[in-house]
Homo-oligomer: A and B are copies of this chain.
């Protein structure tokens, strides 16, 4: 994305706040051209999100698949930093939306961020495949994989610290495959993701499964969603769990709940021994 100064753009005639997303006038709210009252009741949450983000109405079947991704990532319990941060916030006396913001704020490059990286990988691999129609996906994936390995980078979208056969992955993959069979999506990115998995498995000489980030990335590529928007989409998915957990803590009525009880095995000071200022 070309970087520019806001003042330059304004000097060149764009409005300071120029948007192609929505037009708000007295008693009229237009979203990407559509009057809001025609959208309400006729488009689903995932269709509305896609319309706002990408500008068009996603077909019902595709929207359903995106909704499955949103549902799948909604919660991973209070040991996830996003959930724990929101729950702790709920015990500190800030407004509920600020508790939710606290949780969403931590969904960064590391916590959920692999979706974006995997989408970049799958999109760039697909471009390469398209540019070399005579070569097999498998050989191109192998080549890209070697590049990743040589740069000492971890392939995004595979492996999980807890699950090695994640029930969300199996289910999402199956639902996506159904749409491939129905001709609703092409299946190109699912194929690329699977090729990476197979190569990784072969190289590691042990069973490797796609993780939730990997399958979510492949599906979002099938829907032509920009990679750079992945963290925003995940914020709305995990956001559901964040809302529910913060609310549960709020109902508990607990005050200033820290991360864990004060036990020596959990909290320990390892700095200098007691000392005094030199006078």
A273 to B23, CA, bound (A): 10
A240 to B52, CA, bound (A): 7
Name the interface size band of chain A: 35 or more
Known: A95-B94, A243-B229, A245-B19. A272 touches B36 (CB 8 A): no
- Asked if B102 and A271 make an inter-chain contact with CB atoms under 8 angstroms apart, the answer reads no
A110: chain B residues at CB < 8 Å are: 91-93, 255-256
- Segment at the interface with B among A43-51, A118-126, A127-135, A196-204: A43-51
Partner of A81 from B5, B72, B82, B88 at Cβ < 8 Å: B88
A269 to B89, CA, bound (A): 20
- Asked if A48 and B71 make an inter-chain contact with CB atoms under 8 angstroms apart, the answer reads yes
Chain A, range 21-39, C-beta contacts under 8 Å to B: 21-24, 26-39
Known: A40-B71, A81-B89, A105-B105. A273 touches B240 (CB 8 A): no
A211 to chain B, nearest CB (A): 12
* A interface residues (Cβ-Cβ under 8 A, vs B): 1-7, 9-10, 14-24, 26-46, 48-49, 52-53, 55, 57, 64, 67-68, 70-72, 74-82, 84-85, 87-89, 91-102, 104-113, 161-168, 170-172, 175, 226, 228-236, 239-248, 250-262, 264-277
- Asked if B97 and A91 make an inter-chain contact with CB atoms under 8 angstroms apart, the answer reads no
Known: A165-B27, A274-B30. A15 touches B264 (CB 8 A): yes
A44 to chain B, nearest CB (A): 6
Known: A45-B45, A175-B41. A89 touches B95 (CB 8 A): no
A272 to chain B, nearest CB (A): 3
The interface residues of chain A, by DSSP majority, are classed as: mixed
**In the complex, what residue of chain B is closest to A164 when comparing beta carbons?**
B27
A277: chain B residues at CB < 8 Å are: 34, 38-39, 42-43, 57
- Asked if A52 and B244 make an inter-chain contact with CB atoms under 8 angstroms apart, the answer reads yes
A1 to B251, CA, bound (A): 6
- Asked if B28 and A167 make an inter-chain contact with CB atoms under 8 angstroms apart, the answer reads yes
- Asked if A23 and B271 make an inter-chain contact with CB atoms under 8 angstroms apart, the answer reads yes
Known: A171-B41, A258-B79. A96 touches B231 (CB 8 A): yes
A31 to chain B, nearest CB (A): 6
